Amino acid sequence: MCRPLCWTYASGVLAVLAARTDDTNPLSGLVVADRPEPDVPEGWRLVRVKAAALNHHDLWSLRGVGLRSDELPRILGMDAAGVDEDGNPVVVHAVIADPDAGRGDEVNDPRRSLLSERYDGTFAEHLVVPARNLLPKPDALDDVEAACLPTAWLTAYRMLLRSGARPGDTILVQGAGGGVSTAAIVLAGAMGFRVWVATRDAERGRRAANLGADAVFDRGERLPERVDAVLDSVGAATWGHSLRAVRPGGTVVVCGATSGDPSPVELNRIFYQQIRIVGVTMGSRDELAGLLAFCAARNIRPVIDRVLPLHQAIEGFAALEAGDVFGKIVFTIP
Amino acid sequence: MCRPLCWTYASGVLAVLAARTDDTNPLSGLVVADRPEPDVPEGWRLVRVKAAALNHHDLWSLRGVGLRSDELPRILGMDAAGVDEDGNPVVVHAVIADPDAGRGDEVNDPRRSLLSERYDGTFAEHLVVPARNLLPKPDALDDVEAACLPTAWLTAYRMLLRSGARPGDTILVQGAGGGVSTAAIVLAGAMGFRVWVATRDAERGRRAANLGADAVFDRGERLPERVDAVLDSVGAATWGHSLRAVRPGGTVVVCGATSGDPSPVELNRIFYQQIRIVGVTMGSRDELAGLLAFCAARNIRPVIDRVLPLHQAIEGFAALEAGDVFGKIVFTIP
């Protein structure tokens, strides 16, 4: 395992940074260091972070995807729960965008940015964000649970909203361990969908069944019938199966490609079967508010793999890079 | 040019057939022949065909796509206008499907078939179809014009309906000569969209401008701004440009891949820019009724490349295969 470098500032805040990017050895650019107390711009708020969850996006940033070298060092992290300057418990929405620039959907603002891209992220004792990026934390969720929601869980929630499926329809979730797929399994069941899961890992399949999956299949296995929608965060390894698994007129919702970019497209299948491919990244502030209310109302708990103190963040990064997770990894700040 | 074989039946009807399929030399399987008078199943109607338009689908059938060898010989053709047994002028809807089996959209019936696949097609003096596949022909359109509508024009119409775009939005049409792209240019303008066209052929670009395109670009050229939706029937040659041309949250509607299957998918772009890919094939009977009414109400005329008597069909097939068309090729039966 890599050992993080350590930088020290006088009277700083502890933070986990991308100091440089490296496509082949992303963890080599990871640094735990003290950073200066952040300035609070007009209209922004200071948050004392209590819990922050890890995402694949943080690994991609360390590989140099979406993070330019002139932005370095940059504090990583998109998900956080904490308290604002007035002591109110808050959850942080990670999309910095103009709500009027995305035609009713701020995530489509062409200049939108995610925390840890143009602005410092959540892996720090103190965080600054625009005031509208703070939402009240429901009492039903503790800080660790609430910190899981703004990225992977919000993405899964939006994927389900955009799947075109109706309650009672069957949803296939590709993969069973990651943050998005575990969220999708739990949320899809709570929304009234029949939930099928395809995974190459039998143990994760068993754990998916424990989360409420109605049936579990091997990756690529022929299904007993075609499904109404597929949620796919895997990419190359599952694309062909997803296109074959969905009924004519059904939807494949994609939010990532952890196994790389598929090839070929199979456009003939897409148009002849009238399949919709819907790309989803994150969700709007309103959708995050909806997700928080949904989790509180239905007693939905995020699936958590492990909780680590922030200064041990590298252990979480290494586990995520190794694919050795089931649910979210959360860092806490005492 | 190939010379068609000729078969003769006593007291038959003239028809254009796929006698065999050949992926590399599709026209070698094309036959003009007399066929026996068709039986009329219960609930079906006999149509005397007056005009029938040619589609890429007919060339794909000759290549063996969607047409099994045990279905041969098969009369080709999907589009027709003519008169029914009572002398009523009719337009033929080419999708043979159970309207209740497609969840409100018959084109999604998993057992749907297009004319010339499991059932004989429209390139014949007489045609039989289920009664519900006949729609009244509007007086405003003559037989040749009406025969252009049920496949390429219906597909373009449905693509625009599913583009997610609103009047005033900008639509990019990839290609400027084919039946779908010429239809899309004319229909999009009449629906109130701003219409941009990308083509590699300057002469076709000029003709697209004459059809009402607001701007014409070279294929792959960087556009002055991102568009709200792209209509793409080209495939491999335009996929990357289509994904780059569309705004975040916009839609790429695909109905074909005349230049082959694209690779790679560029899934990262699709999910990060939240692009929707929507596959479209044909349209429902109700949509064809809507298209006929729209054309009649707004005096919209299909774009016609040439009109040939049915027995000279091979000349039309050869032109389509060579890509030497601007608009529809229509066969007539005196």
Residue B243 to chain A, least CA–CA distance (Å): 12
CA A248 – CA A227 distance, rounded (Å) = 9
Q: How far from B296 is each of A196, A203, B145, B152, CA to CA, in Å?
A: 48, 62, 11, 17
CA A274 – CA A277 distance, rounded (Å) = 10
Q: What domains, with CATH codes, occur in chain B?
A: 13-151+284-332 (3.90.180.10), 163-279 (3.40.50.720)
What B320-326 contacts at long range (C-beta under 8 Å, 24+ apart), as own/partner pairs, is B320/B54, B320/B56, B320/B58, B320/B59, B321/B26, B321/B27, B321/B59, B323/B177, B325/B177, B325/B178, B325/B179, B326/B176, B326/B177, B326/B182, B326/B204, B326/B207
Indicate if the pLDDT at residue A2 is higher than 50: no
Indicate if the pLDDT at residue A48 is higher than 70: yes
Query: If you compute the radius of gyration of chain B from its CA atoms, what whole number of angstroms results?
Result: 19
Report chain A residues whose CB lies below 8 A from the CB of B274: 107-108, 279-281
B206: helix, strand or coil: helix
What's the DSSP call for residue A138? P
Residues A265/B263, Cβ–Cβ less than 8 Å: yes
> How does pLDDT run across A81-101, given as a tens digit for each residue?
999 999 999 999 999 999 899
Closest in B107, B263, B280 to A263, CB measured? B263
Minimum Cα–Cα distance from B240: chain A residue: A265
Q: Which residues of B, range 206-235, sit inside 8 Å of A by Cβ?
A: 226, 235
A297 touches B: beta carbon within 8 Å: no
Element (H, E) at A227: strand A227-232
Report chain B residues whose CB lies below 8 A from the CB of A272: 279, 281
B173 touches A: beta carbon within 8 Å: no
B166 touches A: beta carbon within 8 Å: no
Q: How far from B93 is each of A183, A213, B281, B292, B325, CA to CA, in Å?
A: 44, 42, 13, 11, 24
Inter-chain touch B280–A266, beta carbons under 8 Å: no
What's the DSSP call for residue B178? S
Indicate if the pLDDT at residue B210 is higher than 50: yes
pLDDT band at A104 (very low <50, low <70, confident <90, very high): confident
Cα–chain center distance at A32: 22
Minimum Cα–Cα distance from B65: chain A residue: A268
Q: What is the pLDDT of residue A29?
A: 96
Q: How far from B2 is each of B21, B34, B61, B331, B332, CA to CA, in Å?
A: 14, 19, 17, 18, 21
> How does pLDDT run across B58-104, given as a tens digit for each residue?
999 999 998 988 999 999 999 999 999 999 999 999 999 998 999 88
> How does pLDDT run across A178-197, given as a tens digit for each residue?
999 999 999 999 999 999 99
A262 touches B: beta carbon within 8 Å: yes
What's the DSSP call for residue B113? E
Mean pLDDT over each residue of chain B, to the nearest integer: 94
CA A53 – CA A145 distance, rounded (Å) = 9
Cis peptide before B264 (omega within 30 of 0): yes
A-B C-beta contacts closer than 8 Å: 115
Report chain A residues whose CB lies below 8 A from the CB of B278: 276-277
Indicate if the pLDDT at residue B5 is higher than 70: no
Query: If you compute the radius of gyration of chain A from its CA atoms, what whole number of angstroms results?
Result: 19
Inter-chain touch B274–A280, beta carbons under 8 Å: yes
Write down how long chain B is.
Answer: 334
Closest in A249, A264, A276 to B102, CB measured? A249
Instruction: Give the strand pairing for B30-35 and B44-53.
Output: unpaired
Element (H, E) at A18: strand A13-18
Report chain B residues whose CB lies below 8 A from the CB of A274: 107-108, 279-281
